[in-house]
Amino acid sequence: MLSRSFCLGLCVFLVALLYNKWKDGLNGLDDQEQTIITFWNSSIKEPDRQFKRIVVGTNCNLDLIVSGVDLLQALHEGPGDPQDSVHLATIDDLVNTFTLYFVKGSAAERAVTNAKVFKEIIQAAESLQKKHHYIGGNAALMAVKISELYPDAQVQLVGPIGPALKDLIPSNIIVPENSLITEDEVHLIMEYGLNEQWDNLRSPVANRFITSYDESNSKLTMLNKFFKNLGPFNPDLVILSGLHLLEMQTHAFVSDKLQAVRNGLGGIPRNIPVHLELASMANKDCVTQIMQMVASEVSSIGLNEQELTFASYVGGGPHASYYNEREGQPEIHKISDMVLWLLKTYGYSKKNPTSRLTRVHFHSLTYHIIGSLPDVWFNSESAVAAGTRIAGRQACDTKALSPEDIELRIPKTFKLFSGSHDIIFDENNPVFSWEKDGFHFVFSPVLVCINPSKTVGLGDAISATGLMYSSFKFS
């Protein structure tokens, strides 16, 4: 009996000991995330000069948000062959392309070329019990985020705005009469969650796939009105988006529109920063035209891993094959090399004094990097930190991050750029910078929302927040 009691007591002691060690381990993880949150909250500073008058354009639409898997099941479709299509002409094209990005866990956007096919898809989406309608389009989402963060700023939104979308837009955003259209343009957002099961497939991260059949945005019908409204409004920051929607047009049409973009941008004084927000593309020719005709005409570019790796792939940049090889989160040193390549290839320098490009803001699920000319852009440490903080807050739909809702997913050791020594990440100093070839780089990890409420518009919120925490001076 004594031996049995002793064994029972020993078992209880060991179980309690193991439980406390397990609990301490969890608390240690929470402490890591809390340390980063505390650092952000104490170190993020407003810029010395705040942008007060912002014009944003041109892609605006009504978003219809559904579960991607639920929608395809409603269409009686299972997983397809994971292969990309630049344009979606059939349901099979949608299934195969969605399958590819579901497996990769990457955000993507593809246009439907057949109005009848898109109508069938939308009807199936509207038949689902779980669906939501929101403000959509990079321009509209960035305008809304700025108006939320800075209600005293004057924000003008120029783009195709239909009746349902107009009702959703906050009243403090200025919408010119010439932006209103009679019928909303609808974009379909097919979301999926972390480790979501789809037959024999599982998603590695939470993300979304976007598709649309959009006449107004895909042809940039509001472009002339966008530039025409700039002068009377007298902005101190200009944000342009929607060029990615041109990729379903002909080469000649794209060239004409991008020339109109160049002409319009050429009329904006160089002391007014112009930010270009990119989005997912698969048309090599269109991306090449955008980079060659527009990249040097803007002051700042915002983009994610799909857009950056594809630009390097089609432009002959570093790690060009990485676009097709990459799986999971992008390697930090390769992304840093590509950001530097963008700045050196298209950016302002003594060899290229006519360019106005001086900043690139890269954002991904797990970390962000801003590369810039340090004597043109200021407060970049706060800008990148504010961008990563807003990513977690918006994904979790909360005003304050809690350690139990988020997690750090970057590797513990990594290189800052090719050829550099490995560094060990320190949560006590999560935002850090380095210099490379005359450019200033700043890095911050994202605290990834474990169960995100909404994945749409994260990149737009990130870029808008990063811009509003930045100062600009270009003489």
Query: 357: closest CA among 349, 348, 366, 365?
Result: 348
Please state, in angstroms and rounded to a whole number, the distance separating the CA atoms of residues 328 and 78.
23
**The two structure tokens encoding residue 171:** 């009243």
Are 190 and 67 a contacting pair, CB within 8 Å? Answer: yes
Q: Identify the active-site residue in 63, 184, 405, 460.
A: 460
The number of angstroms, rounded, from the C-alpha of 175 to the middle of its chain's C-alpha atoms is: 24
48 catalytic, yes or no?
no
Are 160 and 225 a contacting pair, CB within 8 Å? Answer: no
Are 109 and 115 a contacting pair, CB within 8 Å? Answer: no
Are 209 and 104 a contacting pair, CB within 8 Å? Answer: no
Amino acid identity, position 463: S
Please state, in angstroms and rounded to a whole number, the distance separating the CA atoms of residues 410 and 407.
9
Backbone angles phi, psi at 449, to 5 degrees: -70, 125
Annotated catalytic sites, by residue? 460
